[in-house]
């Protein structure tokens, strides 16, 4: 079985897009880097092909190469791209420009920056329509209105004259889809279209996307790292790894019975929202991807019953308000009321010792604010947080005594480590500031120990953060959190910006550390599957309120509150059974 | 939106008050006005009388209010050196400076924006690089050197243009203008060029930097992916977005032109307020200095306000009430 | 084995492939190398001026009046050689330039130092603390921005002149002019630093430091400040050029350094008087040196800004 998978059975009609042996290279000061290597695939009319892979797989580059927008110093070094039988990779200048938009439409990831903020939506649509189709201004406007209605924008007549900043994220992305379709292209390329959106909004965007493609018979290439989105939206899927195509096939086939070891490992490493595993299998990423390490048997696990005793963390009536009203001048003159945002409103829960409490919610739910109040970064406007019976926001002496007992891990490993500090200095900081070591040697020893605990070498201490990958940086952040030997760690979206395989490693590490040191975790996440995998108890937040809480099994298997039910329903359903995949390995 | 403007107006008033306070302090405490006005041999009685008349024996806040009151009525004191009301002196010389600043401003903005846009869109052409190289020299050359160089070339060697004075002027009511005569323009040319050149290079580099920044934005990339023509992207999208910050910065630069004119007026002996200011500094003629400060602040604040108005018109994000 | 650089001349291979993008950019650009060379030359010349110059041109005892107006490259009536000519007092223009360069650089560096000392701490505090302090600092900055550098400098000069007795004016001129330029340039440092701090303070590494209880000053100085070096360096370079030009302008206007302690600007002012009577060298050479200096610094500043811009890498 070669790594280059030949395209599947040819369709009776000519494929809309046919790519053969595509190579893309980048000329850097370190030499030529091969970003795409012999990529081949086809898309039939009306078909949605999912392109999936982790970061560095080259999936975005495929999309860029097809429309001729490979950023310099990159270039297409070989292969062919054919649109309805005609070669388009050799087109330049005006010829290529006419293909873009008219025959191939594009949707990008970030809807906020994709649209020019000083022009209304209508202007974007009409401009694109009239650039490609010979229609009058009124006709273009009529078409634009029809498109907006089609992508389910309410009240298109008034919305068409509004500016991008007046739309929500999900609406903007639907407008972007409308923009991509307005010149009636034969192919649509969507690059991570739902990555920046909440789960519930994502569901709607995917639904609209599928429907408009079906109705128009437009072929589509859906590029994403999210396997769940592929499961919901695509007909066929192409799995990529480090610039090469690993395997291609119908979605259900690849997801349920993947052929390649890497794909199997990748599928297995994705936590499921339905079952909790003991540890996630981690795909080995080595030079020869055809050989993946034997996967440890994935054991399903039931959550232990809560221990008795005083909870380590007790949160009562926690609230945080933000005053968003305009200055007093505006309020007096415009007679506007005081506008207060209740970011967190009367939240109460307990975290038992040695267990993991998960706080789940979408953006704006207030979960991060709760975490910051518990961690001591933001002062609550009402309510209390008690750490082992001590008031966390009490007097200075109490607060100081608590400091060495808890720590925090943040979402973005790029921003949570000071780029100008060496790794060993970063990890030593808590030890030094909290006065936990008697001498410089002792500090160095603690740093080395911390690095070893996160499966890194003490020599790594001498390097700088930018020399490490995202996953390694997150492990350094964990090492820093461990250096002061805390009892309690707040984890704010610790794996949200990591690839699936790296996420599996980090989550496994966190569980190992919990078992070894008896740590207590507060885990904040919007990803229900991660919550299921890691947490013993769960709280669901919506717009500042804790709408439901209980053990993980209770909340996720039998949700009582309507919002929780809606959330669970919106999670892309992969209908994937981990046990089945393991059987294939053996 | 109106509230925003109102707030800016309030800030402007604050600035003016602050400046007037500084002016007042300068006016009151530097040197001894009685000696400057009456001369070294004035008797004590004469000085006491003058002190009472000028109100220098009252408490400081009262004096400040008197000062502001006088200023609002158009009385800014009497020049120590020239023994004439300051307002008169300024009114006489203001047209010269304003005309110079106006012509230089038109030159700087028109040239600067045009060249800035050109060098951003065609950034790799030979002409672009040449312009950028020259602009670097322009920013490094002190204004007075440009002036001296121009004088040497056009006045001394070629003898095409006069090297000092305004030429023939025409009286329009209280305003004497040099824009209506050929010799007026001939005299205006070199000073305006000198004053405007530095600003032109500044504005050009600013516009270029902004435009390059905008051209890197996601919505430009997305527009390209939609198949929009480069022309539409450059002028319809990029230029429009560039203008927003450019308006603010250009406004600031123009506002400082009047103050910048000091050097040009010195080099060319141009009879404007700048030259008046310099000679007043050297002669420690305090009332003139204080009045000049107020004038500059007033001009600056007025221009800023206009810029704010323009800003609101151009950026839809600011238009929500 | 060396790789050809775009300008055709071979560049040291290790620099071209260095890990640091700044070094790579440096090796690639011939113009910046030239600018750096000029600056080095200027710095050395002014440092060793007393040894290189033939005479201290501002010591009247050394001057020979019979050598007045000697054209460049010739021997004067006394037999001494004047490579760049002599002025109306028999002063060697070359020596005068060296000493003038010294003064110009001294004023430039001191003024930048003063602006840094005022602007950076204010910007740090205003950006991090926010609230009324931030508003206050920004309002003061706004008021100051109403007046261009030149005007503020003139004002301070005028005040100093009004306050200081006659005899001390010339001696204090250096301090006055450094104060004048330094006090008017701090605003751009404060603003840039404030903007950068406001961006950085929301980053998670600051939160991580807050959790373990680091003091605000500790966070500002140890964590945030090192991340601000790039923009501050760029501003410092450009404002150094501005300071040099500003000083020369003030001296030219007669309100800067006096003829007893001249800078390049003063020399130009003196020279202008003789331009039209034919002794062009008294003006031209100081002017050329000033231009070369300002040009090199601006080039370096421009290039530095592009080289340190993370988005261009």
- Alpha-carbon Rg for chain A in angstroms: 26
Cβ contact, residue pair A106, B226, below 8 Å: yes
Average pLDDT for A502-520? 90
Q: Has residue C249 been placed in a domain?
A: yes
Neighbours of chain A (3+ CB pairs under 8 A): B, C
Is it the case that residue C11 has pLDDT exceeding 70? Answer: no
* Residue A438: DSSP 8-state: S
Cis check for the bond before A73: say yes or no (omega within 30 of 0): yes
Of A275 and C290, the structure prediction assigns the larger pLDDT to: C290
User: Could you please report the per-residue DSSP string of A366-400?
Assistant: SHHHHHHHHHTSS--SEEEEEETTEETTS-HHHHH
Is it the case that residue C128 has pLDDT exceeding 70? Answer: yes
Nearest to C204 among A29, A407, A416 (CB): A416
pLDDT value of position A570 = 83
Whole-angstrom distance, CA of residue A114 vs CA of residue C155: 49
State chain B's maximal CA–CA distance in angstroms: 86
pLDDT value of position B31 = 61
Cβ atoms of A540 and A561 closer than 8 Å = yes
How many domains are contained in chain C? Answer: 1
**For C295, nearest residue in chain B (alpha carbons):** B140
- Alpha-carbon Rg for chain B in angstroms: 24
pLDDT in tens, C155-214: 777 777 777 766 666 777 788 888 888 888 899 899 989 988 998 888 999 999 999 888
User: Could you please report the per-residue DSSP string of C76-128?
Assistant: -TTS-EETT-B-TT--BHHHHHHHHHHHHHHHHHHHHHHHHHHHHHHHHHHHH
Taking the alpha carbons at both ends of chain B, their separation in whole angstroms is 5
Q: Is C164 on the interface with B (CB under 8 A)?
A: no
**Encoded tokens for A267:** 């599928």
Average pLDDT for B188-197? 89
Residues of B with CB under 8 A from a CB of C: 11, 14-15, 18-19, 26, 30-31, 136-137, 139-145, 148, 152, 156, 216, 252, 255-256, 259-260, 262-263, 266, 277-278, 281-282, 284, 286, 289, 293, 296-297, 300-301
Q: Which residues of B touch A115 (CB under 8 A)?
A: 219, 222
Q: Has residue C270 been placed in a domain?
A: yes
Cβ contact, residue pair B256, C294, below 8 Å: no
**Encoded tokens for B154:** 């056009």
pLDDT value of position A291 = 39
Q: Is B237 on the interface with A (CB under 8 A)?
A: yes
**Encoded tokens for A280:** 């996630």
* Residue B152: DSSP 8-state: I
Q: Is C252 on the interface with B (CB under 8 A)?
A: yes
ipTM exceeds 0.85: no
Q: Between residues 202 and 241 of chain C, which touch chain B (CB distance below 8 Å)?
A: 241
Query: Where is average pLDDT lowest: A274-283, A339-348, B143-152, C52-61?
Result: C52-61
Cβ contact, residue pair B284, C295, below 8 Å: no
Query: Where is average pLDDT lowest: A272-276, C2-6, C41-45?
Result: C2-6
Residues near B264 by beta carbon (within 8 Å), at least 6 away in sequence: B100, B143, B147, B191, B194, B195, B270, B274
pLDDT value of position C169 = 67
Cβ atoms of A116 and A165 closer than 8 Å = no
Cβ atoms of A192 and A53 closer than 8 Å = no
Cβ contact, residue pair C291, B141, below 8 Å: yes
pLDDT value of position A40 = 93
- The residue of B81, B139, B252 whose CB has the most chain C CBs within 10 angstroms, and thus the best one to mutate to test that interface, is B139
Nearest to residue A178, comparing CAs of A220, A138, A142, A212?
Answer: A212
Question: Would you put residue B74 in left (φ > 0), alpha (ψ -120 to 50) or beta?
Answer: left
Taking the alpha carbons at both ends of chain C, their separation in whole angstroms is 26
Whole-angstrom distance, CA of residue A157 vs CA of residue A160: 6
B–C: how many Cβ contacts below 8 A?
109
pLDDT in tens, B216-269: 888 898 888 888 888 888 888 888 888 877 887 777 777 778 888 888 998 888
Task: State which residues form the domain around C142.
Answer: 83-312
Is it the case that residue C53 has pLDDT exceeding 80? Answer: no
Q: How many CB atoms lie within 10 A of CB C66?
A: 11
Look up the CATH number of the domain holding residue C186: 1.10.3720.10
**For C215, nearest residue in chain A (alpha carbons):** A433
Q: How confident is the model at residue A305 (pLDDT cuts 50, 70, 90)?
A: low
Q: Is B231 on the interface with A (CB under 8 A)?
A: no
Q: What percent of chain A has pLDDT over 90?
A: 36
Average pLDDT for B1-6? 70
Decide: helix, strand or coil at residue A191. Answer: strand
Of C99 and A491, the structure prediction assigns the larger pLDDT to: A491
- The residue of B124, B225, B319 whose CB has the most chain A CBs within 10 angstroms, and thus the best one to mutate to test that interface, is B225
Q: Has residue C65 been placed in a domain?
A: no
Q: Has residue C47 been placed in a domain?
A: no
Nearest to residue A17, comparing CAs of A50, A54, A52, A43?
Answer: A43
Cβ contact, residue pair B296, C151, below 8 Å: yes
A500-to-A243, A263, A289, B130, B172 alpha-carbon distances in Å:
17, 12, 16, 51, 79
Q: How many CB atoms lie within 10 A of CB C179?
A: 18
Q: Which residues of C touch B296 (CB under 8 A)?
A: 146-147, 151
Whole-angstrom distance, CA of residue A264 vs CA of residue A283: 8
Average pLDDT for B171-188? 75
Is it the case that residue B155 has pLDDT exceeding 80? Answer: no
**For C242, nearest residue in chain B (alpha carbons):** B140
Parallel/antiparallel/unpaired status of strands A244-250 and A356-360: unpaired
Q: Which residues of C touch A416 (CB under 8 A)?
A: 203-205, 207-208
Nearest to B281 among C143, C157, C272 (CB): C157
pLDDT in tens, A38-66: 999 999 988 999 999 888 788 889 999 99
Q: Enumerate long-range contacts of A564-568, CB under 8 Å, 24 or more apart.
A: A564/A540, A566/A200, A567/A199, A567/A200, A567/A360, A567/A362, A567/A528, A567/A540, A568/A273, A568/A528
Instruction: Give C114→chain B minimum CA distance, Å.
Output: 22
CA angle, B198 then B201 then B206, to 5°: 125
Is it the case that residue A417 has pLDDT exceeding 90? Answer: yes
Q: Is C212 on the interface with A (CB under 8 A)?
A: yes
Q: What is the CATH number of domain A311-570?
A: 3.40.50.300
A–B: how many Cβ contacts below 8 A?
84
Neighbours of chain C (3+ CB pairs under 8 A): A, B
| The residue count for chain A | 586
- Alpha-carbon Rg for chain C in angstroms: 23
Mean per-residue pLDDT of chain A:
84
The enclosing H or E element of C34 equals: helix C30-47
Is it the case that residue C17 has pLDDT exceeding 60? Answer: no
Cβ contact, residue pair A108, B217, below 8 Å: no
Whole-angstrom distance, CA of residue C243 vs CA of residue C251: 12
Nearest to A329 among B7, B225, B316 (CB): B7
Decide: helix, strand or coil at residue A453. Answer: helix
Nearest to C163 among B30, B139, B260 (CB): B30
Sign of torsion over alpha carbons A574, A580, A581, A584: negative
pLDDT value of position B30 = 65
Nearest to residue A508, comparing CAs of A493, A536, A480, A530?
Answer: A530
User: Could you please report the per-residue DSSP string of A259-323?
Assistant: -SHHHHHHHHHSPPSS--BSS-------S-TT--PPPPPPPB-PPPPPPPS--SEEEEEEEEEEE
Q: Has residue C276 been placed in a domain?
A: yes
Q: Which residues of A touch B219 (CB under 8 A)?
A: 113-117
- The residue of B145, B280, B292 whose CB has the most chain C CBs within 10 angstroms, and thus the best one to mutate to test that interface, is B145
Q: Which residues of C touch A417 (CB under 8 A)?
A: 205
Q: Is C221 on the interface with A (CB under 8 A)?
A: no
**For B214, nearest residue in chain A (alpha carbons):** A116
Q: How confident is the model at residue C12 (pLDDT cuts 50, 70, 90)?
A: very low
Decide: helix, strand or coil at residue A225. Answer: coil
Q: How confident is the model at residue A143 (pLDDT cuts 50, 70, 90)?
A: very high
Residues of A with CB under 8 A from a CB of C: 29-30, 372, 375-377, 400, 403, 406-408, 410-412, 415-421, 429-430, 433-434, 477, 480, 484
State chain A's maximal CA–CA distance in angstroms: 80
Nearest to residue A99, comparing CAs of A221, A21, A212, A186?
Answer: A186
pLDDT value of position A18 = 92
**For B318, nearest residue in chain A (alpha carbons):** A118
Nearest to residue A306, comparing CAs of A46, A535, A499?
Answer: A535
**For B11, nearest residue in chain C (alpha carbons):** C139
Q: How confident is the model at residue A307 (pLDDT cuts 50, 70, 90)?
A: low
Q: Which residues of B touch C309 (CB under 8 A)?
A: none
CATH of B86-284, one of 1.10.1200.10, 3.40.50.460, 3.40.50.720, 1.10.3720.10: 1.10.3720.10
pLDDT value of position B39 = 64
**For C302, nearest residue in chain B (alpha carbons):** B136
Nearest to residue C92, comparing CAs of C62, C125, C129, C118?
Answer: C62
pLDDT in tens, C67-126: 777 777 777 777 777 778 777 777 788 888 888 888 888 899 999 999 999 999 999 999
Nearest to C208 among A372, A408, A411 (CB): A408
| The residue count for chain B | 321
Instruction: Give A52→chain B minimum CA distance, Å.
Output: 21
Q: Which residues of A touch B318 (CB under 8 A)?
A: none
CATH of A17-259, one of 3.10.310.40, 3.30.379.10, 3.40.50.1470, 3.40.50.300: 3.40.50.300
Q: How confident is the model at residue B41 (pLDDT cuts 50, 70, 90)?
A: low
B9-to-B21, B69, B251, C25, C160 alpha-carbon distances in Å:
18, 20, 16, 47, 33
Instruction: Give A489→chain C minimum CA distance, Å.
Output: 11
Nearest to B227 among A98, A113, A118 (CB): A98
Q: Which residues of C touch A376 (CB under 8 A)?
A: 210-211
Q: How confident is the model at residue A294 (pLDDT cuts 50, 70, 90)?
A: very low
Tokens 């898309």, residue located: A43
Q: Is B228 on the interface with A (CB under 8 A)?
A: yes
Cβ atoms of A536 and A552 closer than 8 Å = yes
């Amino acid at each position: 079985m070669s790594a280059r998978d030949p395209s599947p059975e040819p369709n009776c009609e000519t494929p809309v897009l046919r790519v053969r042996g595509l190579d893309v290279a980048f000329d850097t000061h370190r030499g030529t880097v091969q970003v795409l290597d012999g990529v081949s695939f086809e898309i039939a009319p009306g078909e949605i092909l999912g392109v999936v892979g982790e970061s560095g797989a080259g999936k975005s580059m495929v999309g860029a190469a097809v429309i001729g927008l490979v950023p310099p110093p990159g270039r297409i070094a070989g292969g062919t791209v054919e649109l309805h039988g005609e070669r388009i990779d050799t087109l330049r200048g005006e010829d290529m420009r006419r293909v873009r938009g008219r025959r191939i439409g594009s949707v990008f990831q970030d809807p906020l920056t994709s649209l020019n903020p000083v022009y209304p939506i209508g202007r974007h649509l009409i401009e694109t329509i009239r650039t490609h189709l010979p229609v009058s201004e009124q006709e273009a406007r009529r078409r634009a209105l029809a498109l907006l209605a089609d992508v389910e924008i309410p009240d298109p007549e008034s919305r068409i004259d509004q500016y991008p900043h007046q739309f929500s994220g999900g609406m903007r992305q639907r407008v972007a889809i409308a923009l991509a379709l307005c010149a009636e292209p034969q192919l649509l390329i969507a690059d991570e279209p739902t990555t920046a959106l909440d789960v519930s909004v994502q569901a709607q965007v995917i639904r609209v996307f599928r429907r408009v493609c079906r109705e128009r018979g437009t072929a589509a290439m859906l590029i994403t790292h999210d396997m769940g989105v592929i499961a919901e939206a695509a007909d066929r899927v192409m799995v990529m790894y480090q610039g090469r195509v690993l395997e291609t096939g119908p979605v259900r086939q690849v997801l349920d019975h993947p052929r390649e070891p890497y794909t199997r490992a990748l599928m297995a490493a994705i936590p499921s929202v339905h079952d909790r595993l003991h540890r996630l299998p981690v795909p080995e990423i080595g030079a020869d991807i055809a050989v993946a390490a034997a996967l440890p048997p994935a054991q399903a696990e039931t959550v232990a019953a809560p221990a008795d005793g005083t909870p380590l963390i007790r949160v009562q009536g926690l609230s945080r308000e933000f005053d968003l009203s305009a200055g007093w001048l505006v309020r007096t003159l415009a007679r506007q009321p005081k506008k207060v945002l209740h970011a967190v409103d009367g939240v109460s829960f307990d975290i038992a010792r040695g267990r993991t409490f998960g706080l789940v919610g979408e953006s704006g739910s207030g979960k991060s604010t709760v975490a910051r109040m518990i961690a001591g970064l933001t002062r609550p406007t009402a309510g209390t947080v008690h750490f082992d019976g001590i008031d966390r926001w009490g007097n200075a002496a109490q607060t100081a005594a608590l400091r060495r007992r808890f720590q925090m891990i943040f979402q973005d490993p790029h921003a949570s480590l000071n780029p100008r500090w060496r790794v060993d200095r970063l990890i030593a900081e808590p030890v030094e500031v909290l006065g936990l070591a008697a001498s410089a040697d002792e500090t160095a020893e603690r740093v080395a120990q911390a690095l070893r605990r996160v499966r890194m070498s003490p020599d790594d201490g001498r390097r700088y953060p930018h020399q490490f990958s995202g996953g390694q940086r997150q492990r350094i952040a964990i090492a820093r959190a461990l250096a002061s030997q805390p009892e309690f760690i707040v984890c704010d979206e610790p794996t949200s910006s990591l690839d699936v395989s790296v996420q599996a490693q980090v989550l496994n590490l966190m569980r190992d550390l919990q078992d070894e040191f008896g740590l207590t975790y507060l885990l904040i996440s919007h990803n229900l599957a991660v919550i299921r995998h890691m947490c013993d108890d769960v709280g669901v937040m919506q717009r500042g309120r804790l709408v439901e809480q209980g053990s993980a099994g209770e909340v996720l298997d039998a949700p009582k509150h309507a919002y929780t039910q809606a959330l669970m329903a919106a999670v892309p359903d992969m209908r994937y059974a981990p046990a089945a995949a393991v059987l294939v390995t053996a | 939106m109106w509230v925003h403007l109102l707030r800016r107006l309030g800030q402007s008033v604050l600035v003016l008050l602050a400046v007037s306070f500084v002016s007042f302090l300068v006016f009151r405490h530097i040197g001894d006005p009685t000696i400057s006005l009456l001369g070294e041999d004035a008797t004590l009685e004469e000085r006491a009388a003058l002190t009472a008349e000028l109100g220098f024996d009252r408490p400081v806040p009262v004096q400040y209010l008197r000062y502001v009151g006088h200023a609002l009525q158009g009385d800014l004191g009497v020049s120590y050196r020239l023994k004439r009301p300051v307002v008169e002196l300024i009114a006489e010389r203001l047209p010269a400076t304003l005309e110079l600043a106006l012509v230089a401003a038109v030159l700087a903005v028109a040239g600067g924006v045009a060249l800035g846009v050109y060098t951003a869109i065609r950034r790799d052409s030979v002409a672009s690089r040449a312009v950028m190289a020259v602009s670097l020299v322009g920013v490094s050359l002190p204004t007075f050197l440009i002036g001296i160089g121009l004088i040497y070339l056009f006045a001394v060697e070629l003898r095409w243009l006069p090297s000092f004075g305004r030429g023939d002027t025409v009286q329009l009511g209280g305003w004497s203008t040099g824009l209506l005569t050929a010799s007026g323009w001939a005299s205006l040319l070199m000073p305006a060029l000198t004053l405007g050149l530095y600003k032109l290079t500044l504005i050009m580099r600013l516009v270029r930097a902004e435009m390059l920044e905008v051209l890197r934005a996601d919505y430009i990339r997305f527009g390209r992916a939609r198949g929009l023509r480069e022309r539409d992207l450059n002028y319809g999208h990029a230029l429009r977005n560039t203008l927003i910050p450019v308006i603010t910065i250009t406004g600031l630069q123009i506002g400082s032109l009047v103050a910048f004119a000091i050097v040009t007026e010195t080099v060319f002996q141009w009879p404007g307020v700048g030259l008046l200011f310099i000679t007043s500094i050297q002669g420690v003629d305090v009332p003139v200095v204080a009045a000049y400060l107020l004038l500059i602040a007033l001009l600056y604040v007025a221009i800023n306000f206009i810029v704010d108005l323009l800003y609101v018109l151009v950026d839809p994000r600011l238009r929500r009430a | 084995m060396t790789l050809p650089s775009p300008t055709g001349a071979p560049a040291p291979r290790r620099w071209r492939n260095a890990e640091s993008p700044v070094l790579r950019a440096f090796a690639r650009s011939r113009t910046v190398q030239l600018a750096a060379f000029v600056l080095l030359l200027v710095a050395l010349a002014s440092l060793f001026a007393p040894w290189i110059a033939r005479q201290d041109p501002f010591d009247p005892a050394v001057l020979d009046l019979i050598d007045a107006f000697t054209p460049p490259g010739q021997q004067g009536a006394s037999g001494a050689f004047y490579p760049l000519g002599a002025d109306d007092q028999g002063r060697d223009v070359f020596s005068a330039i060296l000493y003038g360069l010294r003064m110009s650089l001294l004023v430039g560096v001191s003024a930048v130092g003063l602006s840094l000392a005022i602007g950076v701490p204010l910007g740090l505090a205003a950006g991090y603390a926010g609230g009324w302090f931030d508003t206050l600092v920004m309002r003061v900055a706004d008021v100051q921005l109403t007046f261009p550098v030149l005007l503020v400098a003139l004002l301070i000069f005028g005040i100093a002149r009004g306050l200081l007795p006659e005899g001390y004016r010339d001696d204090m001129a250096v301090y006055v002019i450094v104060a004048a330029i330094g006090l008017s340039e701090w605003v751009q440092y404060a603003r840039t630093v404030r903007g950068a701090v406001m961006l950085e303070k929301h980053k998670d590494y600051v939160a991580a430091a807050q959790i373990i209880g680091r003091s605000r000053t500790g966070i500002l100085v140890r964590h945030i400040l090192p991340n601000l070096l790039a923009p501050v360096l760029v501003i410092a370079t450009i404002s150094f050029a501005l300071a040099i030009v500003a000083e020369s302008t003030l001296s030219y206007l007669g309100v800067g350094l006096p003829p007893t302690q001249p800078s390049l600007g003063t020399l130009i002012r003196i020279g202008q008087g003789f331009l039209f009577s034919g002794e062009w060298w008294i003006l031209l050479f100081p002017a050329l040196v000033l231009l070369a200096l300002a040009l090199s610094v601006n080039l370096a500043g421009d290039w530095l800004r592009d080289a340190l811009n993370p988005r261009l890498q």
